Amino acid sequence: MAHFSPDFLQFFIDLAPNNHKEWFDENRQRYHKNVKEPFENFVDALIEALKPYDKGIPEDLTYKNCVFRINRDIRFSKDKTPYKMNRSAVIGPQGKNDHGIPSLYFEAGPEHFRIYTGVYSPQKHEIESIRHYIADHSDELDKIIIADQFKKEFGEVKGDKYKVLPKAYKAVAEKQPLILNKNWYVFKTYDPKVILQEDLIDIVVNDFKTIQPFQDYFRNALGIK
């Protein structure tokens, strides 16, 4: 049985031109039935499916630790629409409570279903730790990112880059340019209707296994076991 029905996607399609509290309140029961509850159940099922592969996932992790709110943070945004156009969650050692730990992030909405992993917003000391690790383990990183399945499904490693690099890393940068990055992540985009498939969990788990070495590499770089 599929985790989602077409009503999940239709809710967001209808929300797009009606992104305000009055409409949402009128459709709140519909939101709970077709969006919130199915997504939370899916996250719990995916947590259990990932546990045999990601040993960092705690036994007591549930959707409550992983699912982000549908409400947007509009305090510093010119866009004052109050609701996100997808549901999103992150599964990892501390769920959504620590954005610094490389984990599996995913989002589902009418534009796409997408999964990510990597290091997106590292602190300065974390960038330095990663640079040291890349300098000492560049061959291992090369092996991960040039693997056929990795390249086929996730393409190249994404991330912003520094223009200036400390002299100590310049020789490494010639061999492994990813040491120039400010962040390191990969993602895969699916057709939004993939969430309607009965084998959605298997699809995500299989693709997670492809990117798990990349995730583990950066956990090791940050000293996270």
Which is it for strands 87-91 and 104-108: parallel, antiparallel or unpaired? antiparallel
Per the structure, the complete domain to which residue 50 belongs is given by: 6-221
Whose tokens are 């305090």? That residue is 75
pLDDT at 44: 99
Which pLDDT band, with edges at 50, 70 and 90, does 147 fall under? very high
CA distances from 5 to 37, 163, 166, 180 (A): 12, 47, 52, 43
Residue 113 has, within 13 A of its CA and on its CB side, a CA count of 17
Q: Quick check: is 1 in a domain?
A: no
Instruction: Give the three-class secondary structure for 115.
Output: strand
Using the predicted structure, report yes or no on whether residue 75 has a pLDDT greater than 90.
no
User: Residue 166's domain is classified under what CATH number?
Assistant: 3.30.930
Q: Quick check: is 37 in a domain?
A: yes
The predicted model scores a pTM of 0.95
pLDDT at 56: 96
Q: Quick check: is 62 in a domain?
A: yes
pLDDT at 14: 99
Q: Each residue of 112-133: pLDDT tens digit?
A: 999 999 999 999 999 999 999 9
Q: Each residue of 3-52: pLDDT tens digit?
A: 999 999 999 999 999 999 999 999 999 999 999 999 999 999 999 999 99
DSSP state of 146: T
Q: Quick check: is 130 in a domain?
A: yes
Q: How many domains does the chain have?
A: 1
Q: Quick check: is 199 in a domain?
A: yes
